[in-house]
Structure 1
Amino acid sequence: MVALVPTEAHGDERGALLNFIEAQRAAIRRAAHGLTEEQAASRPSASELSLSGLLKHVAEVELNWLRLAQERPNERQRTQETWGDAFRLVEDETIPAVLGFWAGVAKETEEFVRSVPSLDDTFPLPKAPWFPEDGRVSVRWMLLHLVQEGARHAGHADIVRESLDGRTSFELIAAEQGR
């Protein structure tokens, strides 16, 4: 049972970074494997985090960074009033719908990364207290940040899942592979 990022990372830095991002996406998706909507929405710890909320959050965060890099408006940008909805499914949202949305974002991210002339190309950061004044980051930095963000939340997802039913990431990898 292999649990490592493929070593044949498309033969280049872009492929390697995209493979590491996909490995984190897969870990988060896997944490919800086999759960009902109700189970995935539950919060089994003192934290407000749920698996379905984590799925939604990481998909929206990836879209936000992609739109920043593309220097386009984010059609799903959160307002102060809707910020709490970023970590939970609302109205008619379902896990399959969120996963479908995220798959579309992932495809668009890969297409953008493959098309940008250089990973050294930069884009401006928005005005926010947590960003430097007139800050800019490179596409490479964004990709590394997506690895970091994904890894952080994959760890959260592992803990939430194990708290729900005791299943660990290795057990879930085996279940995905039919073992």
Structure 2
Amino acid sequence: MSDDGASHGLTKWHGTTIIGVQRGDKIVIAGDGQVSMGNTVMKPNARKVRRIGENGKVVAGFAGATADAFTLFERLEKKLEQHNGQLLRAAVELTKDWRTDKYLRNLEALMIVADAENLLVLTGNGDVLEPDGGIAAIGSGGNYALAAARALTDYEDDPETIARKAMAVAADVCVFTNGNVTVETV
């Protein structure tokens, strides 16, 4: 994301872990509930993973500034409406806007989104990434969760079990991630 804000005299909100795991026809997105400001836990039970779109057919999780993420959730929902619920098309259109729009390009967030067919990572650089091996993770604890999930795939087939165990590893290692996990399945 960006610097720690020290040069601007601001305290940045940061830290979270979101993981997406796809196995067979099941996709799970899980996220922790901790919101931190500096070294202080401001809220332990935020909901960073939620269903969006018509009938909640899309699951989205975010890492980054909360207000920015909610703006992106709203924009993605509008794109889903415009493109008849086609997640891949809506994601491409959102990231185009995110990269080029003067207001949106300043948003500090990353997203993992999924529907029944797709697991994607969306960035403000215009990226729509399909993760290698069906596992994606973002946020301050993302690398810990990603490594744990990859190791678990040799021993575990259930994506929810993989996601929950990977989140537990991230919560044990990353001080900006807690064990209060929200899980949504598509």
Determine if the TM-score, normalized by the shorter chain, exceeds 0.5: no
TM-score (ref. length: structure 2): 0.26
TM-score (ref. length: structure 1): 0.27
Task: Select the structure that is richer in helix.
Answer: 1
Whichever of the two has the greater Rg, that structure is 1
Task: Select the structure that is richer in strand.
Answer: 2
